[in-house]
Chains A and B, each alone.
Chain A
Amino acid sequence: QKEVEQDPGPLSVPEGAIVSLNCTYSNSAFQYFMWYRQYSRKGPELLMYTYSSGNKEDGRFTAQVDKSSKYISLFIRDSQPSDSATYLCAMTSGTYKYIFGTGTRLKVLA
């Protein structure tokens, strides 16, 4: 079993839809949780960073962490074609080591 599971997609949604992206994990020691957006042939760009449980909102993006269920989510409101990218989740217990999901490809259709 992988430490982090992420549906690879592709996930196709119409413009303006609410998008929900998710990761599950198995290691209860994870404390720091991140979401990255990666456009084709570009580096991963940090979108959201959360420590421990709870919600964090930044513009159209909301990150949720449910440590009891070992489940994290990224919501994108009013999705735009420019949101079309691969979204990676990542997490760490605070040591040097980061565990990444394999990424979900998102397509927002105009």
Chain B
Amino acid sequence: DAGITQSPRHKVTETGTPVTLRCHQTENHRYMYWYRQDPGHGLRLIHYSYGVKDTDKGEVSDGYSVSRSKTEDFLLTLESATSSQTSVYFCAIRGDGEQYFGPGTRLTVT
């Protein structure tokens, strides 16, 4: 158990509303990641963080922003949710070289 929690676990929201997803880790890992997983696309990196206030974009970052003000928390914000952002979102942390994933957040944008 890598000590990763995500909240909320499920969310339904309307197009155009802002949404924030939270990832919390208990083991003080430096690197944290946000992925989305969609049928036919697999896991795609949205943003990652390599330390407090240090973040960078992944391959599908448009429409998303992140913040990391504490080592243990990594927030993903959808500025104005669109139907194309309906997905399952996973947070991950990096250990020595391996990654551990959280339980996921299932987001539906109507």
> Which residues of A line the B interface, CB within 8 A?
31-32, 34, 36, 41-46, 49, 51, 88, 90, 92, 94, 96-98, 100-103
Contact = CB atoms under 8 A, between A and B. Distances in A.
Interface residues of B, number: 19
Contacts, number: 45
B103 A46 contact: no
Contact of A100 (B31, B42, B94, B98): B42
21 contacts: A32-B97, A34-B98, A34-B99, A41-B104, A42-B103, A43-B90, A43-B101, A44-B90, A45-B101, A46-B2, A46-B98, A46-B99, A46-B100, A92-B97, A96-B50, A96-B56, A96-B94, A98-B99, A100-B42, A100-B43, A103-B42
Nearest to B44: A100
A90 B43 CA distance: 10
A97 B45 CA distance: 9
B74 interface: no
B91 to A, nearest CB: 9
Nearest to B6: A43
Interface of B: 2, 31, 42-43, 45, 48, 50, 56, 90, 94, 97-104, 106
Given A43-B90, A43-B102, A43-B104, A96 B97 contact: no
Contacts of B98: 32, 34, 46, 49
Contacts of A41: 104, 106
Contacts of B43: 44, 88, 100
A100 B48 CA distance: 16
B106 to A, nearest CB: 8
B99 A96 contact: no
